[in-house]
Amino acid sequence: TSDQESKFLSKSTDGGATANVVAVRGSKTLTRALAVTGPSTLLLGVMRLPDAFVARINTSVTGPSSLVYSTYLSGSGDDGALGIAVDAAGRASVTGGTTSGDLPTVANSARVPGVKNAWVAKLSENGDRILYANEFETENGATDARSLAIDGSGNTYVVGMMGSADFIAKLPPDLSSVDALKFGGATETMGANGVAVGPDGTAYVVGSTSSNDFPTTANAFQLTYVGGTSDAFVARFTFEPPAEPRSPNPPSGTSWVTVTPTLSWTSARATSYEIRFGTTNPPPTIVPDTADYWYATSRLTSGTTYFWQIVAKNGVGTTAGPIWSFSTDPTGGPDGPAPPSSPNPASATTWVTVTPTLSWRSEGATSYEVRFGTTNPPPTVASNITEYWYATPRLNPGTTYFWQIVAANDSGTTAGPIWSFTTDPTAGPPGPGTPSSPNPPSGTTWVTVTPTLSWQSDGATSYEIRFGSTNPPPTAESNTSDYWYTTPRLNPSTMYFWQIVAKNGNGTAAGPIWSFTTEPATVGPPPSTR
């Protein structure tokens, strides 16, 4: 008829059975969700205004007999079914939004009367009854569920939009409770639209947002909002603490280990780690927080037993692993330099000048790496220097700084402890802010060979620009008031490093070292991300 539009949605092949799914768009119906449960079965979740329905179709049969079951799933108001998934027993779970207020639910439903609620229901295998159902609202406003997934234990994960934020919720197999989490930017969210669950219970969520403050993690592929009507996002969540760290390398009890080992381990659901390591049992903490699942030690002492332990972390909690040990090769050769000591200023000193010169000692060292900053552990600010001192730029008053020295010689490296000090709070106005917001973002690939770099630094009046294909990069321009830099034509398929030193009358602030890689010489479309 004139008010209908047919559109091919998807085609899937499983075990030799092929299913073609067609949506019929008319004044009242539109197919919104599809689940393939086996070689010959399809389950459709359909939104019909104002009612939803669910149908199960046997794709190995043609004609009317292909319909295994079809049922309404609604209350007295408007109900939409936007997501569907099937558990190992062939039972369909459906989710969406409702304003009915009388959908069947369990006794402890989190329904909020008078507003749009998210709902989820699990049907029997033949669709003749609802086994479990629940309804919930996650903030004082409309909540709309859009997708769901089921893990190997039968738990259900639901995602969607609630007011001005995205949400993910976890429900047990009987849907009797709701553990919900809000996420997203403060404004302009467009909702989480899809969810998948890994074998360890980690949930992966996709959606879209036009918010420029959507939270991203430090090691994200893309850290900032680019523009257009909206940007896609992908996020990873867990509702469980991390698994106990395991698979130590070297294995616990190993002997004749190299004196320069790199330790590694695994822990499902972990997002960061505390590393404990030393010659005492239990070992002391040497790295309080890192996202790396490995640790390159400094050069160790020959013929010595070392103990180590990993504490896995995520947003839910922490899990400490067992204490492992190994013994180093007794013929490992000469030892590296002595651990750096005698810090000046002494660790934990207060009222330190805002223009200090740091110094230290390390017997046998020939060069040093200097790590310094307001975060713990601090970032590297100087590499392979021969001086046993470091003059900082002008620091902020009343601020705690952390620093660490890694001593080196031909036999290896030795990292010292992390020291700290706090600057004089009455030292006057600070220097410029640390350069940030690099464009192109650090780690970007397929950058034009004629880029214009840009950055931000509050309070800066001029800049030193360091740029090149070596790390650290050399100075390309020593003093400019511009907050951008147009490079000469660059080589294709080459990684470049750059760093900005911001300046004003009160001092300087060196930013981190950023990088990007230029596009290949023959430029086609960038690699597909699909």
Q: pLDDT exceeding 90 applies to what percent of the chain?
A: 45
Q: Which residue has the tokens 């760093």?
A: 499
pLDDT at 26: 32
Highest mean pLDDT, choosing among 2-16, 200-214, 301-315: 301-315
Give the span between the Cα atoms of 168 and 182, in whole angstroms: 7
Quickly state the pLDDT bin for 185 (edges 50, 70, 90): low
Give the span between the Cα atoms of 83 and 95, in whole angstroms: 5
Higher pLDDT, 33 or 307: 307
Please determine, for residue 157, whether its predicted confidence score (pLDDT) is greater than 70. Answer: yes
Quickly state the pLDDT bin for 454 (edges 50, 70, 90): very high
What backbone phi and psi angles, to 5 degrees, belong to 21?
-115, 125
Higher pLDDT, 156 or 62: 156
| Burial of residue 6, with CB atoms counted within 10 A of its CB: 0-12 exposed, 13-18 middle, 19 or more buried | exposed
Q: How many residues in the chain?
A: 530
pLDDT in tens, 458-513: 889 999 999 999 988 999 999 999 999 999 999 999 999 999 999 988 788 888 89
Quickly state the pLDDT bin for 526 (edges 50, 70, 90): low
Q: Which long-range contacts (CB under 8 A, 24 or more apart) does 54-62 make?
A: 54/81, 54/84, 54/92, 54/94, 54/123, 54/127, 56/92, 56/127, 57/19, 59/17, 59/18, 59/19, 60/17
Strands 254-257 and 324-328: parallel
pLDDT in tens, 219-273: 788 888 887 788 899 998 888 899 999 999 999 999 999 888 999 999 988 989 9
The mean pLDDT value of the chain amounts to: 83
pLDDT in tens, 186-221: 566 677 999 999 988 889 999 988 887 788 877 788
pLDDT in tens, 392-416: 988 889 999 999 999 999 888 888 9
| Burial of residue 333, with CB atoms counted within 10 A of its CB: 0-12 exposed, 13-18 middle, 19 or more buried | exposed
Q: pLDDT exceeding 70 applies to what percent of the chain?
A: 85
pLDDT in tens, 96-109: 888 887 877 765 56
Name which of 273-287, 294-308, 321-335, 420-434 the model is least confident about. Answer: 420-434
Classify 351 in phi/psi space as left (phi over 0), alpha (psi -120 to 50) or beta: left
3-state secondary structure of 101: coil
pLDDT in tens, 19-55: 333 333 333 334 445 555 554 455 555 444 467 888 8
pLDDT in tens, 108-143: 566 666 678 888 999 999 989 888 888 877 565 678
pLDDT at 507: 80
pLDDT at 358: 95
Give the span between the Cα atoms of 518 and 434, in whole angstroms: 26
Assessment of whether the complete model's pTM goes beyond 0.95: no
pLDDT at 43: 53
Task: For the chain, list the domains and their CATH numbers.
Answer: 33-238 (no CATH), 246-327 (2.60.40.10), 341-423 (2.60.40.10), 436-517 (2.60.40.10)
Please determine, for residue 18, whether its predicted confidence score (pLDDT) is greater than 50. Answer: no
One-character DSSP codes across 47-88: EESS-EEEEEEETTS-SGGGEEEEEE---SS-EEEEEEEE-T
One-character DSSP codes across 144-199: EEEEEEE-TTS-EEEEEEETTEEEEEEE-TT----EEEEES-SS-EEEEEEEEE-T
